[in-house]
Structures are given as C-alpha cells and as structure tokens.
Structure 1
Amino acid sequence: MPLFIGHMDPGLRAVAMEKNMSLDGMGARHNEPALFGRTWGKFEEKEDRVPKLEQLNSLGFMCSLNLVLNKKDLIKMELLLLETFGWNLCMPTPAHFIDYYLNAAVQESDLYNGWPLSSLSKTKAFMDKYTHYFLEVSLQDHAFLSFRPSQVAAACVAASRICLQISPSWTTALHLLTGYTWDHLTQCIELMLL
C-alpha cells in the first residue's frame, strides 16, 4: 500500500516535513510520514486506498522501532496534524483545474483551420495531451508562480487551442467556466508558447 505523501502538492509536502510537529508524547515521532500519508489519503484518495491502522502498524519501520499505534493515538495525531495546518490541506495547483476546464475545451461549434471539426473525440484527445504538456511546461518555470493556479490552467487550454489551430482561441463558454477573458490570459499564454 503506497503512502500518499508523494502525490501531494510539493509545497504542502515541504511544509509538512519542515513543521516541527511535536508527536513525542505519543511515541510516534518516527511515523510522521506514514501518519501524514494516511491523513492526506483521507482527503485526496478513495477510501479503499487509505492505509488502515493495521497496515500502518505492520510497516517495517514501525515494527523495527516496536511502535504500535492504537486508534485513540492515531486520531489524536491526525487531529494534531490538521490543527498544525489550520485544517487547510488544499493548496490548489493548476492540475486541480485542468480536468474541469477540459470539459469545455472543445465544442462541436469549434473550427479547425476555418472548417468544422472532423472528429470531436479525436480533437478532445489531442486537447487533453496538449493541455497536460503545457501543464508540465508550467511546472518547469518559476515565472508561472506569478499567476493564479486557475489562470495557468486556463492558459494551458488556450495555448493548446492555438497549437491545434482551433478557433476561436477562447470561447464564451471557456470565459464563463474559468472566469478569465483572453486579456487575462495573454501574458501567461505567451510565456507558455516561447
């Protein structure tokens, strides 16, 4: 069973590991990553993927340290983690918005080089690939940190529409869904297309 700390936002993961959370009173200082993985998993994953108490207790490092958690201590530590973060576990990233925006990224009324789309499903598949490519581009340049995560995600869709020669480059439906006009996105799009 994987621990979910690797799947979370890198900024939140760094904060989690840097915070000096005093779990010493419960003899659990060494299992903070496992505990954080469980707490994060409850928030981000499907329930069947969240490690159970028995699974945590059977982890190699828990056994080698002779640590055994009971339900009361586990709940106490989870509450301590949540309080440490002020119950704020979600730091949205552009990836949180991409799938939502992709729902409106391609429509039947769109045109390819001035002609109707020949295959809506193929165009949507290409849109998905291009948008995720631009999402990766945005992760590799700190300049994108000056934009809101939702704005970066919207710019990924717009840049993909440009590359795929879909017109108009930004639709009313996308404007209504994202809350961004073309002018709001121009600077971010230009940075992506450099």
Structure 2
Amino acid sequence: MSYLKNWWVTDYADDIFSYFLRKEKTGMTFRCRSPQLGERRRLVDMLRLVGERLQLGNTSVHLAVRLLDLFMDNHRVEVAHLSLVALGCLLLATKFEDRDLNVPHVPELHRLVPHCYPLRDYRAVEAILLEFFSWNLSLVTVAHFVEFLATRVLGRGDLVRGAELVGTASALTPPPDHPSTGPPPPTSGAQALRNALLERLQYFMDLALQDEQFMLHRPSVVACACVLAARSRLGVWPAWPAELSRLTGYSDASLLSCLHSLFR
C-alpha cells in the first residue's frame, strides 16, 4: 500500500477508507492459539525498537506484527528461530509498505538485535512466509485506519471542558508536503491540542500492539477505540462525534469493549 502516498488527505480518502473496512473482513482469522504467546511481547518490543531506530513507518511495524501473529497462530516455531521469523516479517512488511530506501539491510538488523542469522536464513524464512500468505501481504492494520482518523482527530465545534478552542480552522488544515523554511508560526490552542491528541493516539496504538487480545477485534475497531480513548483522556467533547460515527459506521457504544481494554 506504499504507492498510495498520503492517501488520507486526498479527494478519494473516504473511498479508500471504505475499501479498507470491507477488506478487513476477509482473509485469515486470528484465534489466539499459538503455544508461544508468552514470547510475543518480547518479539513485538524488538520489532518496535528496530522500527524506531530505522525510522520505519507505523504501517510497516504494524503489518510486521500482524504477519507474525497470523504465522505463529498456525505454526509451532522453535524458540531459537522466533526472532528470525519476526525479523523476516519486518523485512517483508517494509518492502511492501515503505520506500525502497527504508528497507533495512541484514547488517543493520544485526547491529540492533542480539541475534545474528546468515543471509540465507532470512531468504529462507521470507520464502516460507510468502508461501504461507500466498504472496498476499495486503493486510489492513490498525495503523492504516489511524492514518485516516488522525487527520480527523479534532473537528470544528469540538469543546474542551466546555470551552471552544482558538485556531481550530488552522489546526484542521493538513501540513504542506514542503513546509516553508521560515520560523514556525505560534501554536494555537487548537493546534496544541491536536498535537497532544496525536501523541496520545500513538500511545494507545502502541498499547494495543503489545497485547494479542486486541487482535481479536477488527483493526478498524481498535483504531476507532484509540481515537475515542485519546479524545476522552484529554477532555474533548463529544468524545465520539457524529461525524466520526458517520465516517466509520461505529457508534461509541460499539467501541466500549475495546475502549475498556485500553483503559484497564
């Protein structure tokens, strides 16, 4: 999906979002039955660390974790090879989601993780993964939905503890592809809130990524629950406005189960 650059701010963003909603209903079902779920947190932390160090996109890391979850759900992997499988998932996800320049090389991975594997092992595990997924890596993740929802995390008419915000219109305008080199303009109250919402949204995304129970929900539900959680925590009212309900098809009541899991 990397060829859809900044799709979430295009004229056809709503159509792509609707396509993602349909697509997430197809494909493999995660059943949380891997005998090695106890190793999952360590593997996810490793993938997140590598993603941060190599400045990979959220969609690459989330796709890697989703591939790993589905593969582990259907295989018993030797503990000594789990890290290799996880890194193989990251390599494939990055090739699919990121720019070619961002695809990590094996020596880069070896500098970041405590395990070193021969290049032939990476090639072998990539081949096994591709065969298992029938070469179809076009899986929708929480990060794909959040890309869209992040541009709508703050709306006109939103209130914070009953008060209107200053500068809401400018805060709702997406940043240009090539920002000016001059000094940044003063941050309005709305822009500061939007930045805080995006930080909190990232926090809840990371939280959901660490717990395999969130894989039992559809990615769109988790993404919407993360937005609802971020807005609720920062006192934005309504916490789930009618516009987001219309765009996503979810009421706030339908997100409560996932929301409670984020807050526990």
TM-score where L is the length of structure 2:
0.50
Deviations along 1:89-138, one digit per CA (max 9) or x if unpaired, are 13333222212111111013100111102422111101101111112222
Structure-2 residue corresponding to 1:112: 160
Give the drift of 1:177. Answer: 2.4
Instruction: Give structure 1 stretches of 5+ with no counterpart.
Output: 20-31, 53-59, 68-73
In 2, are the aligned partners of 1:134 and 1:192 still within 8 Å (CA)? yes
Deviations along 1:125-156, one digit per CA (max 9) or x if unpaired, are 01101111112222333432331111011001
Structure-2 residue corresponding to 1:23: none
Cα distance 1:82–1:139, how it changes in 2: closer, same or farther (>3 A)?
Answer: closer
Query: Highest CA radius of gyration, 1 or 2?
Result: 1
Give the drift of 1:33. Answer: 9.3
Task: Determine if the alignment matches structure 1 residue 164 to structure 2 residue 212.
Answer: no
Task: Determine if the alignment matches structure 1 residue 103 to structure 2 residue 151.
Answer: yes
Give the drift of 1:11. Answer: 4.1
Give the distance between the partners of 1:168 and 1:182, measured in 2 at CA: 10
Q: Output the aligned Cα RMSD.
A: 3.8
Aligned residues: 166
Structure-1 residue corresponding to 2:253: 183
In 2, are the aligned partners of 1:162 and 1:169 still within 8 Å (CA)? yes
Report 1 or 2 for greater relative contact order, CA contacts < 8 Å, sequence distance ≥ 6. Answer: 2
Instruction: Give structure 2 stretches of 5+ with no counterpart.
Output: 1-53, 76-84, 106-116, 167-188
Give the distance between the partners of 2:91 and 2:101, measured in 1 at CA: 12
Give the distance between the partners of 1:34 and 1:184, measured in 2 at CA: 35
In 1, are the aligned partners of 2:204 and 2:262 still within 8 Å (CA)? yes
Structure-1 residue corresponding to 2:82: none
Structure-1 residue corresponding to 2:64: 9
Residues 43-122 of structure 1: pairs in structure 2 closer than 5 A: 43-50=96-103, 61=118, 82-118=130-166, 119-122=189-192
